[in-house]
Each structure stands twice: as structure tokens, then as C-alpha cells.
Amino acid sequence: QRDIMLDVVQRTSEVCFMPLTVGGGIRTLEDIRELLKAGCDKVSINSAAVKDPDFIREAALRFGSQCIVVNIDPRRVASGEPSKFPEHLRVVPRALPEKESFAKGLSTLDPQPSTCFWDVHINGGRVPTGLDAVAWALEVERLGAGEIVLTSMDADGTKDGFDLEITKAVAEVVEIPVVASGGAGSPQHLCEAVTEGQASAALAASIFHYGEYTIAEAKRYMAEQGVPVRMTST
């Protein structure tokens, strides 16, 4: 299957003249090397990064931060005052030992603590980790990732719009680009991800795959709303 994927990446890169990111099942530096050699510009990792955070650092040192994307899949699991959260939701020293403040609870992350907690999920969004998504985003940046793709498990597939609260919460605390993902149902949602969610970019799939909108239509709408986009001739 890996050989098949490499062939698909190579053939896609030959006809694709925009940055190509490949993700799924990437677990080793050799996996990354093979994919980059096949023609992709960036690789996206998730589960492997959570299980071994140093994998992010090693990959960034070997190949450069510009091609290491970490996909974070959060799900909203609690609301209320951070001090009222169950202990296993507030404290995350297991995976983030260097960040002493993380072990003191979510209230240390922001002078005005968030009223929600988002649990990072792995294995395609099926397995909760107990990691706070905002804390994990900070650690991902510190370890050398060059970009975050933030896919809300609550919004994904709904086409009701992005989870702007978690998008903004992450975008406000990191300096690397954050790509909002999960929930796009219209060009207006793409605008909201950038303007209200403060994302650097917005990801959409089904609205394009099923022909509801063209990329040109989405870009034109965003430009009309004052969102800077790179327009194409088509």
C-alpha cells in the first residue's frame, strides 16, 4: 500500500502546481523522506506526533519546519470554569513535561481562561488522549512544526461552519499558520474562519468535491468580503 501511495503522490505532483501536502500513516523519518522524494511539499502527522512528540522535533531538524504540518483533531468535552474540570482533563504533564505551567491547569494558558476544554483525538478522531488542544498546539509549535491543521471533530462533516471558538483559541496563542478544518458548507464559512476564527487559511472538501461551489467562486466571494486571496484566471 505504501508503494501505491508513493505512486499516487508522484503522479499527482507531476500535474499539481500548488503546494501538495500528504498525510496518513506517517510514522517514521523514512516515511517522510520517501514522500518528499515522491514529490510532495509537506507532510501532515497526527497520531505519531502525539505518541512521540520528539518525532516532530526530529522531522523538523531533518527536513525543515516548512514541510512539517501537525494535524490536531480536537473534540469539545467540557464547559464551565477550568477549576471545575475533572483532574484528568485539566492536567497534562504526561505528554508535555517541559511546560511546567501546563501541569497547573488550563487557567494558566490565558489571563481570561477559556470556558471550554477540547480533547485532542488520534487514530482518525476515534481515540481521545486527554490532551488540551490549545496546550498541545503550543507544544507542537515549540517542537518545530511549521503549520497546524486544526480539524474540529464536532464540526467535521456537518457543513454548518467551522468551530470558530477553538480555531480562535489556537490561532491566538501560536505564531505559525493555523488552517481551519471541519465544517465548511459555504464560502461564507471560509470567510468566518479567517475573520472571526483568525485562521491563516481555511480547508474545504465536500463543497468542492460535490460541485456545490467552484474554487474560483469561493475565492471571488472571499475577495468581495475583503479577505486577501490569490485569484486565478479561471
Domain around 77 = 71-224
Which of 71-80, 134-143, 172-181, 207-216 shows the lowest per-residue confidence on average (mean pLDDT)? 71-80
Question: Is 124 a domain residue?
Answer: yes
51: left (phi over 0), alpha (psi -120 to 50) or beta: alpha
Largest CA distance in the chain: 54
Q: Bigger pLDDT: 113 or 186?
A: 186
Q: Tell me, what CATH number does 178's domain have?
A: 3.20.20.70
Question: Is 200 a domain residue?
Answer: yes
What pLDDT, on the 0 to 100 scale, is given for residue 184? 98
What pLDDT, on the 0 to 100 scale, is given for residue 101? 40
Question: Is 118 a domain residue?
Answer: yes
Mean pLDDT of 162-170: 96
Question: Is 153 a domain residue?
Answer: yes
pTM as predicted: 0.84
Mean per-residue pLDDT of the chain: 86
What pLDDT, on the 0 to 100 scale, is given for residue 53? 94
What pLDDT, on the 0 to 100 scale, is given for residue 87? 52
pLDDT per position as a tens digit, 88-143: 444 343 334 344 443 333 333 443 345 568 999 999 889 988 888 999 999 999 99
Which of 70-74, 92-96, 200-204, 209-213 shows the lowest per-residue confidence on average (mean pLDDT)? 92-96
Question: Is 38 a domain residue?
Answer: no
Separation of alpha carbons 194 and 79, rounded Å: 24
pLDDT higher than threshold 90 for residue 10: yes
Which of 74-83, 91-100, 207-216 shows the lowest per-residue confidence on average (mean pLDDT)? 91-100
β 68-79/147-151 pair status = parallel
User: Rounded to 5 degrees, what angle do the CA atoms 225, 230, 232 make?
Assistant: 105
Q: What is the 3-state secondary structure (H, E, C) of the chain?
A: CHHHHHHHHHHHHHHCCCCCEEECCCCCHHHHHHHHHHCCCEEEECHHHHHCCHHHHHHHHHHCHHHEEEEEEEEEEEECCHHHCCHHHHCCCCCCCCCHHHHHCHHHHCCCCCCEEEEEEECCCCEEEEEEHHHHHHHHHHHCCCEEEEECCCCCCCCCCCCHHHHHHHHCCCCCCEEEECCCCCHHHHHHHHHCCCCCEECCCHHHHCCCCCHHHHHHHHHHCCCCCCCCCC
Total count of domains within the chain: 1
Question: Is 77 a domain residue?
Answer: yes
Nearest to 174 by CA among 212, 124, 133, 227: 133
Question: Is 25 a domain residue?
Answer: no
Question: Is 58 a domain residue?
Answer: no
Q: Bigger pLDDT: 54 or 232?
A: 54
Mean pLDDT of 176-188: 98
What pLDDT, on the 0 to 100 scale, is given for residue 104? 36
The cell numbers describing 55, all together, are 518525532
